[in-house]
Amino acid sequence: MSHPHDDHDLAGIPPPTVEELRDGVFAYVQLDGSWGLNNSGFLVGRDAVTVIDTCFTERRTLALVDTIASITPRPLRTLVNTHHHGDHTHGNYLLPAATIIGHERCRTEMLESGHVATSLFPGVDWGRLEVAAPFVCFEQRLQLYVDDRRVELDFVGPAHTTNDVIAWLPQDRVLFAGDLVFNGGTPFVVMGSVAGSLAALDRVRALGADVIVPGHGPVCTPEVIDDQVAYLRFVQELARRGFDAGIPPLDLALGADLGRFAVLHDPERLVGNLYRAYSELRGEPLGCPIDPQAYADMITYNGGRPLRCLA
């Protein structure tokens, strides 16, 4: 289906796709899932729609809204944010009638950081952006209902960030995992925790989902969790060797053999992940602010080029 705001082929990438995972349960997938190309979801009820995450730019969120409208005329009444990053929240303001739900720290991080992500990705057509933070907030768990369908919102951070929330549909065995799961992309935990991500993935595995909507990449099954765990353990083991030898994270990353993980896009995330792993080896609190040099060093690892963002 084509919509007025769907001119994504101009960037040489496919337009977003919609997958109906269960009756009334949809995944909105933006490939290739690299920087800024996140996934959203929406649940269609009798009288209204619940949306899970918006998109990075005005144009992309308008395309999401158009797509939902092509499937149902019902109003977008509820919006869940899985975490504060701009590729999942920048478009919140384009759902003005929605109650925005998120973790308490998601609200705090959004209000403190604003649109800081725009400084990392030059050349992106952001459109008009406004901050619209969650205003219904929780600390551990919130039960949300779409008619009789229960959606369990569980805090599982610090992991990808300090404020990660998963949306679990127990009757459908469908999980919206947010950025705990990158299918085909390098996991990114510089704003969260390596150890915390491993713990969160254990919790996700224990749910026994049949279908997982990752934060980035194609809809998948729980086997993808094994790849995430293997990568994060690789980061921990590499960090331990480098930390003990006094090697800075950038130098360690530049000299590292990515092995099986070389096929994952956005490999420069290794640098940020090592900064976080070093922080944990120093015994610093999980999710504490990291040295901003980590972001500059990711660009250096990337050959001095800006981070690739096709949003």
Contact 172, 21 (CB under 8 A): yes
Which pair of structure tokens corresponds to residue 57?
């730019």
Percent of the chain with pLDDT over 70: 96
Is the pLDDT at 2 greater than 90? The verdict is: no
Q: What is the pLDDT of residues 169-210, one digit of tens each?
A: 999 999 999 999 999 999 999 999 999 999 999 999 999 999
- Secondary structure letter of residue 262 according to DSSP: G
Q: What secondary structure letter does DSSP report for 171?
A: T
Query: Which secondary structure element, helix H or strand E, spans residue 25, and what is its range?
Result: strand 25-29
Q: Tell me: pLDDT of 1 over 50.
A: no
Determine the average pLDDT of the residues in 141-154. Answer: 98
Mean pLDDT of the region 286-306: 94
179 belongs to a structural domain:
yes
Residues 6 or more apart from 280 whose CB is under 8 A from it?
193, 194, 195, 286
Q: Is 113 contained in some domain?
A: yes
- The answer to whether position 23 is within a domain reads yes
Alpha carbons 282 and 107: distance in angstroms, whole number: 28
Q: Are strands 49-52 and 76-80 parallel, antiparallel or unpaired?
A: parallel
CA 256 to chain centre: 25
User: Which amino acid makes up residue 111?
Assistant: L
In a domain, 288, yes or no: no
Is 163 inside a domain boundary? yes
Position 236 in a domain:
no
How far CA 172 is from CA of 150, 165, 178, in Å, comes to: 9, 18, 17
Beta-bridge partner residues of 214: 178
Output DSSP code: residue 220.
Answer: B
Confidence of residue 13 (pLDDT cuts 50, 70, 90): confident
Q: Which tokens go with 189?
A: 């935990």
| pLDDT tens digits for range 219-268 | 999 999 999 999 999 999 999 999 999 999 999 999 999 999 999 999 99
Instruction: Give CA separation, 32 vs 7, 148, 163, in Å.
Output: 15, 34, 25
Count Cα atoms within 13 angstroms, Cβ side, for 229. Answer: 13
C-alpha 213/C-alpha 206 separation (Å) is 16
What is the rounded CA–CA span in Å between residue 50 and residue 152?
A: 13
Evaluate whether residue 217 is within a structural domain. Answer: yes
Q: With contact defined as beta carbons under 8 Å apart, do 56 and 87 qualify?
A: yes
Cα atoms in the Cβ-side hemisphere of radius 13 Å centred on 11: 22
pTM of the model: 0.95
Residue 100, number of CB atoms within 10 A of its CB: 23
- Dump pLDDT digits (tens) for 25-75: 999 999 999 999 999 999 999 999 999 999 999 999 999 999 999 999 999
**The domain that contains 48 carries what CATH number?**
3.60.15.10
Which structural domain, as residue segments, surrounds residue 188?
8-222
Total domains in the chain come to 1
Mean pLDDT in residue range 14-34: 97
The helix (H) or strand (E) run that includes residue 89 is helix 86-89
Residue 306 forms part of a structural domain: no
3-class DSSP state of 205: helix
3-state secondary structure of 146: strand
Reported confidence tier of residue 11, pLDDT bands at 50, 70, 90 = low
